[in-house]
Structure 1
């Protein structure tokens, strides 16, 4: 069964549309990654201005073990500084305190009950 010229044209049009859609998706993904990289660079620059070298080092070490906790503390420090409740430079002692607070915030102390005879 031979393809007619109109079938060839339809197939070519479908291929062209699929290729354009793929190119559009790739471009959107590239743009999204660039915006994310820009936001992350701005965040790092802000943290560099806010935190002391030792505080940043502490958070870097925490990030290796608990990335969510490190990010939560960074976000909290940024919020506190922007609200004027904390003045930069923020030292390691404050970061340690915030790490302890936020790390224990989601945990409950286990209850131990002893049965009486």
Structure 2
């Protein structure tokens, strides 16, 4: 009897473990679907407010400064959702926005001291 009970306990544990793994996998898939839907929504908004050259400029910035590109995208999406952008933004507009966001940054000053 003890062996049968032990086998049943092990089977239950394995079944519970497999169920937990299946639930975790399902949750990961759901989260990935949500992230993909959010990315698609963001891209749709950006396509509506940025002309192709502006999108290309923003993608080029993303290669070098992903944080800056995300910041600009978030601001543009927020402005668009509030109805404050009423035309397509050009590459020049993106350049102006980027320069305003980065003008306050000071470049490190390197001094060379001689002995």
Indicate the residue corresponding to 1:20 in structure 2: 19
Q: How many pairs align?
A: 109
TM-score (normalised: structure 2): 0.84
How far the C-alpha of 1:20 sits from its partner, in A, is 0.3
CA deviation map 1:51-92 (0-9, x unaligned): 011100100111111111111111111222233333220111
1:95–1:37 Cα change, 3 Å: same
CA contact (8 A) 1:55 1:91 kept: yes
TM-score (normalised: structure 1): 0.83
Give runs of aligned pairs for residues 1-117 of structure 1, distance below 5 A. 4-105=3-104, 107-108=105-106
Q: Which runs of no fewer than 5 residues in structure 2 stay unpaired? A: 111-115
Give me the whole-angstrom Cα distance separating, in 2, the residues matched to 1:25 and 1:14: 16
Q: Which runs of no fewer than 5 residues in structure 1 stay unpaired? A: 113-117
Please report the RMSD computed on the Cα atoms of aligned residues, expressed in angstroms. 1.9
Give me the whole-angstrom Cα distance separating, in 2, the residues matched to 1:81 and 1:46: 8
